[in-house]
Every structure is written in C-alpha cells, then in structure tokens.
Amino acid sequence: MSKKLSNNTLSAFATALLCTIWMVIANATGLLGWAGFAGCTAYFAGPKKGVSALPLTFACVGSGVAYALISVHLGSQIDFAQIGLVFTFVTTFLMCAGGKIGIISFVPGAFMGSFSTFAAGGDFMIIPSIAAGIILGLCCDTLGKKLCAIFGSEE
C-alpha cells in the first residue's frame, strides 16, 4: 500500500514551483515580481476560485490600480501640498463604496491593486505584473488541485 502525500504539502509544492517560475519570467521580462505576488494573493483572497473568479478579481484589482494611477499622475501635476490627503479620501471612499457594486464588490482586491500601484510609484508595469499574478494564482490553485487528485490524501 503506497502512502499518499498530504494535500497541504502538494498544494504548497505547486504554489512554490509556480511562484519560482514566475520570478524567473518576471526577472527576464522586466515585470515586477512582487506585484505578481500581490495579484496571486488577490486571487486566493477572493470569494470565488477557478476561472469564474477571474472577472471579479481583475475588475476589483484593476479598479484599485486605476484609482492609484489617477492619484499618482494627477497628484504630480497639481501644486497643492495636501493633494495626497484629498486623493486618499476620494480613492478610499470609492473603493469602499464599490463594495455594493457587484463587479467591484471584492473591496480587498481593490486595495491590493491600489497599494501595489502606490508601492510601484505609479509605474505602468504594475498593470501586466499584477494581471499576470492573478493568472499565477489561478495556475497555483489548478495545479495544486490536480496534484491532490493524483497523489493526495484527505487530512
């Protein structure tokens, strides 16, 4: 009788493998590796999983990215010392209020997109990087489930 591996171990292996591959790709292409991890985290934190999770995750994370890009780029054009506070209020309000709008109702996803964009200093490379990370999350989830189905055991 062969001993099966724990599902937790298999899922962790799948995620570690794909995240390592992601970093190789990000480094080779100039994408922001850490931003990919933010996208991956948004996928796993979201209320749905699988391909059906993608529209909500992309919309919510994308809305946060958009709010932050607008804030960063308008803020650099406006000569008013406290403009950052104004943009903080407006974008935080919009992201939280979006919780009642179906397609952008995953508020933590919006915040992940927003803080990642601010961390990138408004660099537009945040867009493909965080989008690739959302797909990375789906791939980690899918590979983990496949490995569990083949080699796993219920814990």
Which sequence spans correspond to the domains of the chain? 5-153
pTM: 0.93
Rounded to whole angstroms, the Cα distance separating 103 from 117 reads 20
Tens digit of each residue's pLDDT (9 = 90 or more) over 91-130: 999 999 999 999 999 999 999 999 999 999 999 999 999 9
* pLDDT score, position 2: 64
Q: Is the pLDDT of residue 84 over 90?
A: no
Rounded to whole angstroms, the Cα distance separating 50 from 72 reads 33
Tell me the percentage of the chain whose pLDDT exceeds 90: 84
